[in-house]
Chains A and B, each alone.
Chain A
Protein backbone atom coordinates (compact mmCIF):
# COMPACT_ATOMS: atom_id res chain seq x y z
CA UNK A 1 0.00 0.00 0.00
CA UNK A 2 1.40 3.39 -0.92
CA UNK A 3 1.71 6.09 1.71
CA UNK A 4 -1.06 8.69 1.80
CA UNK A 5 1.41 11.59 1.22
CA UNK A 6 -0.02 13.70 4.02
CA UNK A 7 -3.64 13.27 2.90
CA UNK A 8 -4.94 10.68 5.34
CA UNK A 9 -8.17 8.79 4.84
CA UNK A 10 -10.22 10.96 7.23
CA UNK A 11 -13.47 9.28 6.18
CA UNK A 12 -12.38 5.95 7.65
CA UNK A 13 -14.52 2.99 6.60
CA UNK A 14 -16.98 5.30 4.85
CA UNK A 15 -14.10 6.30 2.59
CA UNK A 16 -14.42 3.02 0.73
CA UNK A 17 -17.88 1.80 1.72
CA UNK A 18 -19.72 4.88 0.49
CA UNK A 19 -19.87 5.12 -3.27
CA UNK A 20 -21.37 8.61 -3.29
CA UNK A 21 -22.12 9.89 -6.78
CA UNK A 22 -19.28 8.04 -8.44
CA UNK A 23 -19.80 5.68 -11.35
CA UNK A 24 -20.32 1.94 -11.67
CA UNK A 25 -16.65 1.11 -11.18
CA UNK A 26 -16.69 2.79 -7.74
CA UNK A 27 -19.38 0.39 -6.55
CA UNK A 28 -17.52 -2.55 -8.08
CA UNK A 29 -14.51 -1.45 -6.00
CA UNK A 30 -16.57 -1.57 -2.79
CA UNK A 31 -18.10 -4.92 -3.72
CA UNK A 32 -14.65 -6.26 -4.60
CA UNK A 33 -13.44 -5.46 -1.10
CA UNK A 34 -16.53 -6.83 0.63
CA UNK A 35 -16.45 -10.09 -1.34
CA UNK A 36 -12.69 -10.32 -0.75
CA UNK A 37 -13.15 -10.06 3.01
CA UNK A 38 -15.94 -12.65 2.92
CA UNK A 39 -13.88 -15.05 0.83
CA UNK A 40 -10.88 -14.60 3.14
CA UNK A 41 -12.96 -15.38 6.25
CA UNK A 42 -14.34 -18.53 4.57
CA UNK A 43 -10.92 -19.56 3.26
CA UNK A 44 -9.21 -19.39 6.67
CA UNK A 45 -11.87 -21.71 8.15
CA UNK A 46 -11.82 -23.90 5.02
CA UNK A 47 -8.10 -24.63 5.51
CA UNK A 48 -8.73 -25.86 9.06
CA UNK A 49 -11.85 -27.94 8.24
CA UNK A 50 -10.43 -29.64 5.14
CA UNK A 51 -7.16 -30.54 6.88
CA UNK A 52 -9.05 -33.44 8.47
CA UNK A 53 -8.62 -35.40 5.20
CA UNK A 54 -5.00 -35.95 6.20
CA UNK A 55 -5.97 -37.85 9.37
CA UNK A 56 -8.53 -40.54 8.52
CA UNK A 57 -11.72 -41.19 6.51
CA UNK A 58 -13.74 -41.04 9.75
CA UNK A 59 -12.39 -37.59 10.67
CA UNK A 60 -13.05 -36.38 7.12
CA UNK A 61 -16.62 -37.66 7.19
CA UNK A 62 -17.21 -36.12 10.62
CA UNK A 63 -15.84 -32.76 9.41
CA UNK A 64 -18.00 -32.82 6.29
CA UNK A 65 -21.09 -33.87 8.27
CA UNK A 66 -20.56 -30.88 10.56
CA UNK A 67 -20.88 -28.49 7.60
CA UNK A 68 -23.84 -30.12 5.87
CA UNK A 69 -27.44 -28.91 5.72
CA UNK A 70 -29.62 -26.36 3.94
CA UNK A 71 -28.05 -23.41 5.77
CA UNK A 72 -24.54 -24.49 4.74
CA UNK A 73 -25.71 -25.09 1.15
CA UNK A 74 -26.98 -21.51 0.94
CA UNK A 75 -23.78 -20.27 2.63
CA UNK A 76 -21.63 -22.20 0.16
CA UNK A 77 -23.62 -20.78 -2.72
CA UNK A 78 -23.01 -17.26 -1.38
CA UNK A 79 -19.28 -18.07 -1.30
CA UNK A 80 -19.58 -19.25 -4.92
CA UNK A 81 -21.38 -16.00 -5.86
CA UNK A 82 -18.67 -13.95 -4.12
CA UNK A 83 -16.01 -15.95 -5.96
CA UNK A 84 -17.69 -15.40 -9.35
CA UNK A 85 -17.92 -11.66 -8.78
CA UNK A 86 -14.42 -11.29 -7.30
CA UNK A 87 -12.86 -13.35 -10.12
CA UNK A 88 -14.62 -11.57 -12.99
CA UNK A 89 -14.00 -8.15 -11.50
CA UNK A 90 -10.43 -9.18 -10.74
CA UNK A 91 -9.84 -9.97 -14.44
CA UNK A 92 -11.11 -6.45 -15.24
CA UNK A 93 -8.85 -4.90 -12.62
CA UNK A 94 -5.76 -6.73 -13.91
CA UNK A 95 -6.51 -5.61 -17.49
CA UNK A 96 -6.86 -2.00 -16.32
CA UNK A 97 -3.88 -2.23 -13.94
CA UNK A 98 -1.61 -3.41 -16.77
CA UNK A 99 -2.89 -0.65 -19.05
CA UNK A 100 -4.45 -3.04 -21.58
CA UNK A 101 -7.98 -1.74 -21.06
CA UNK A 102 -7.35 1.97 -20.75
CA UNK A 103 -6.86 2.92 -24.40
CA UNK A 104 -3.91 4.67 -26.00
CA UNK A 105 -3.13 8.33 -25.20
CA UNK A 106 -4.59 10.63 -27.88
CA UNK A 107 -4.69 14.35 -28.63
CA UNK A 108 -7.48 16.15 -26.75
CA UNK A 109 -9.48 16.90 -29.89
CA UNK A 110 -13.24 17.55 -29.75
CA UNK A 111 -15.36 15.41 -29.43
CA UNK A 112 -13.28 14.33 -26.45
CA UNK A 113 -12.83 10.65 -25.66
CA UNK A 114 -12.02 9.29 -22.23
CA UNK A 115 -10.66 6.01 -20.96
CA UNK A 116 -14.16 5.37 -19.58
CA UNK A 117 -15.12 4.59 -23.20
CA UNK A 118 -12.85 1.54 -22.91
CA UNK A 119 -13.37 0.69 -19.26
CA UNK A 120 -17.17 0.81 -19.05
CA UNK A 121 -17.83 -1.91 -21.66
CA UNK A 122 -15.20 -4.02 -19.92
CA UNK A 123 -16.95 -3.53 -16.56
CA UNK A 124 -20.30 -4.48 -18.07
CA UNK A 125 -18.73 -7.51 -19.79
CA UNK A 126 -17.10 -8.63 -16.53
CA UNK A 127 -20.43 -8.43 -14.72
CA UNK A 128 -22.19 -10.41 -17.47
CA UNK A 129 -19.50 -13.09 -17.11
CA UNK A 130 -19.97 -13.09 -13.32
CA UNK A 131 -23.74 -13.48 -13.65
CA UNK A 132 -23.37 -16.37 -16.12
CA UNK A 133 -21.02 -18.20 -13.71
CA UNK A 134 -23.40 -17.47 -10.80
CA UNK A 135 -26.33 -18.89 -12.77
CA UNK A 136 -24.38 -22.03 -13.63
CA UNK A 137 -23.53 -22.37 -9.95
CA UNK A 138 -27.16 -21.87 -8.94
CA UNK A 139 -28.22 -24.55 -11.43
CA UNK A 140 -25.67 -26.98 -9.99
CA UNK A 141 -26.38 -26.12 -6.33
CA UNK A 142 -30.16 -26.06 -6.34
CA UNK A 143 -31.53 -27.79 -9.45
CA UNK A 144 -29.19 -30.59 -10.55
CA UNK A 145 -27.69 -31.58 -7.17
Chain B
Protein backbone atom coordinates (compact mmCIF):
# COMPACT_ATOMS: atom_id res chain seq x y z
CA UNK B 1 0.00 0.00 0.00
CA UNK B 2 1.28 3.47 -0.80
CA UNK B 3 2.45 5.56 2.17
CA UNK B 4 -0.31 8.13 1.77
CA UNK B 5 -2.98 5.45 1.40
CA UNK B 6 -1.78 3.96 4.71
CA UNK B 7 -1.87 7.38 6.37
CA UNK B 8 -5.38 7.95 5.01
CA UNK B 9 -6.51 4.61 6.47
CA UNK B 10 -5.08 5.68 9.86
CA UNK B 11 -6.84 9.03 9.43
CA UNK B 12 -10.20 7.25 9.06
CA UNK B 13 -9.43 4.85 11.94
CA UNK B 14 -8.46 7.79 14.17
CA UNK B 15 -11.79 9.43 13.25
CA UNK B 16 -13.67 6.42 14.63
CA UNK B 17 -11.65 6.52 17.87
CA UNK B 18 -12.38 10.26 18.18
CA UNK B 19 -16.09 9.68 17.53
CA UNK B 20 -16.27 7.34 20.52
CA UNK B 21 -14.09 9.15 23.04
CA UNK B 22 -14.74 12.76 22.04
CA UNK B 23 -18.43 11.85 21.96
CA UNK B 24 -18.10 10.66 25.56
CA UNK B 25 -16.08 13.77 26.51
CA UNK B 26 -18.67 16.09 24.98
CA UNK B 27 -21.50 14.21 26.69
CA UNK B 28 -19.76 14.53 30.08
CA UNK B 29 -18.75 18.17 29.66
CA UNK B 30 -21.58 19.71 27.67
CA UNK B 31 -24.64 17.51 28.18
CA UNK B 32 -24.12 17.41 31.95
CA UNK B 33 -27.52 18.86 32.83
CA UNK B 34 -29.28 16.28 30.63
CA UNK B 35 -27.14 13.17 31.22
CA UNK B 36 -25.24 13.97 34.43
CA UNK B 37 -22.61 11.27 33.93
CA UNK B 38 -19.11 11.06 35.47
CA UNK B 39 -19.60 14.15 37.63
CA UNK B 40 -19.88 12.47 41.05
CA UNK B 41 -19.44 15.69 43.05
CA UNK B 42 -22.36 17.36 41.31
CA UNK B 43 -22.11 20.97 40.20
CA UNK B 44 -20.20 21.75 37.03
CA UNK B 45 -18.08 19.15 35.19
CA UNK B 46 -15.00 21.41 35.43
CA UNK B 47 -15.28 21.83 39.20
CA UNK B 48 -12.03 20.64 40.78
CA UNK B 49 -13.78 17.83 42.73
CA UNK B 50 -15.13 16.33 39.50
CA UNK B 51 -11.76 16.71 37.73
CA UNK B 52 -10.08 14.86 40.62
CA UNK B 53 -12.76 12.12 40.65
CA UNK B 54 -12.26 11.42 36.94
CA UNK B 55 -8.48 11.73 37.27
CA UNK B 56 -8.38 9.07 40.01
CA UNK B 57 -9.69 6.40 37.65
CA UNK B 58 -7.48 4.53 35.19
CA UNK B 59 -10.10 4.77 32.45
CA UNK B 60 -10.00 8.54 31.99
CA UNK B 61 -6.21 9.13 31.86
CA UNK B 62 -5.78 6.20 29.45
CA UNK B 63 -8.61 7.28 27.15
CA UNK B 64 -7.46 10.93 27.32
CA UNK B 65 -4.06 9.85 25.97
CA UNK B 66 -5.71 7.68 23.31
CA UNK B 67 -8.01 10.55 22.29
CA UNK B 68 -5.11 13.00 22.37
CA UNK B 69 -3.03 10.90 19.96
CA UNK B 70 -5.94 10.13 17.64
CA UNK B 71 -7.19 13.73 17.53
CA UNK B 72 -3.73 15.24 16.98
CA UNK B 73 -3.02 12.82 14.14
CA UNK B 74 -6.48 13.23 12.58
CA UNK B 75 -6.42 17.03 12.81
CA UNK B 76 -2.83 17.68 11.79
CA UNK B 77 -2.94 15.15 8.95
CA UNK B 78 -6.15 16.78 7.72
CA UNK B 79 -4.48 20.21 7.88
CA UNK B 80 -1.49 18.82 5.99
CA UNK B 81 -3.77 17.53 3.23
CA UNK B 82 -5.46 20.91 2.88
CA UNK B 83 -2.12 22.73 2.73
CA UNK B 84 -0.59 20.28 0.23
CA UNK B 85 -3.60 20.67 -2.06
CA UNK B 86 -2.53 24.28 -2.54
CA UNK B 87 0.51 22.95 -4.43
CA UNK B 88 3.34 24.46 -2.41
CA UNK B 89 6.89 24.01 -3.78
CA UNK B 90 8.62 20.75 -2.85
CA UNK B 91 10.79 22.29 -0.11
CA UNK B 92 7.72 23.81 1.55
CA UNK B 93 5.86 20.49 1.41
CA UNK B 94 8.67 18.91 3.39
CA UNK B 95 8.77 21.83 5.83
CA UNK B 96 4.99 21.63 6.41
CA UNK B 97 5.31 17.93 7.23
CA UNK B 98 8.19 18.51 9.65
CA UNK B 99 6.53 21.47 11.43
CA UNK B 100 3.20 19.65 11.86
CA UNK B 101 5.01 16.54 13.11
CA UNK B 102 6.94 18.58 15.69
CA UNK B 103 3.80 20.43 16.80
CA UNK B 104 1.97 17.11 17.12
CA UNK B 105 4.75 15.42 19.09
CA UNK B 106 5.19 18.45 21.38
CA UNK B 107 1.48 18.73 22.19
CA UNK B 108 1.20 14.96 22.62
CA UNK B 109 4.05 15.05 25.14
CA UNK B 110 2.39 17.93 27.03
CA UNK B 111 -1.08 16.35 27.02
CA UNK B 112 0.18 12.87 27.96
CA UNK B 113 2.25 14.34 30.80
CA UNK B 114 -0.83 16.25 32.03
CA UNK B 115 -2.96 13.08 31.96
CA UNK B 116 -0.40 11.05 33.93
CA UNK B 117 0.56 13.85 36.33
CA UNK B 118 -3.06 14.74 37.09
CA UNK B 119 -3.76 11.05 37.78
CA UNK B 120 -0.81 11.00 40.20
CA UNK B 121 -1.99 14.22 41.83
CA UNK B 122 -5.60 13.01 42.08
CA UNK B 123 -4.67 9.67 43.66
CA UNK B 124 -2.41 11.42 46.20
CA UNK B 125 -5.20 13.67 47.50
B-binding residues in A (CB < 8 A): 1-2, 4, 8-9, 12-13, 15-16, 33, 36-37, 39-40, 43-44, 47-48, 50-51, 53-57, 60-61, 64, 76, 80, 83, 87, 90-91, 94, 97, 136-137, 139-141, 144-145
A15, B111: Cβ atoms under 8 Å? no
Chief secondary structure at chain B's binding surface: helix
Residue of B nearest to A8 (CB): B87
Docked Cα-Cα span, A56 to B110, in Å, equals 16
B15, A54: Cβ atoms under 8 Å? no
Residues on A with C-beta less than 8 A from B78 are 33, 36, 40
Docked Cα-Cα span, A2 to B33, in Å, equals 44
Nearest CB in chain A: distance from B104 CB, A? 10
A-B contact count (CB 8 A): 97
Beyond the given A40-B79, A64-B46, could you list 11 further A-B residue pairs with CB under 8 A, ordered by the A residue number? A1-B80, A9-B85, A13-B86, A47-B107, A54-B116, A56-B121, A61-B48, A94-B12, A136-B31, A137-B30, A140-B31
The 7 closest A-B pairs by CB, nearest first: A54-B117, A144-B33, A51-B114, A40-B75, A54-B118, A54-B114, A1-B81
Residues on A with C-beta less than 8 A from B2 are 2
Number of chain B residues close to chain A: CB under 8 A: 45
B76 within 8 A of partner (CB): yes
Chief secondary structure at chain A's binding surface: helix
Which of A39, A43, A60 lies at the interface centre, i.e. has the most chain B CB atoms within 10 A of its CB? A43
A53, B23: Cβ atoms under 8 Å? no
Residue of B nearest to A53 (CB): B118
B62 within 8 A of partner (CB): no
Residues on A with C-beta less than 8 A from B5 are 2
Nearest CB in chain A: distance from B27 CB, A? 10
B30, A140: Cβ atoms under 8 Å? yes
Residues on A with C-beta less than 8 A from B12 are 94, 97
Residues on A with C-beta less than 8 A from B113 are 51, 54
Residues on A with C-beta less than 8 A from B16 are 94
Residues on B with C-beta less than 8 A from A16 are 82, 85
What 0/1 pattern do residues 23 to 46 of B give for CB contact below 8 A with A?
A: 100100011111000000000001
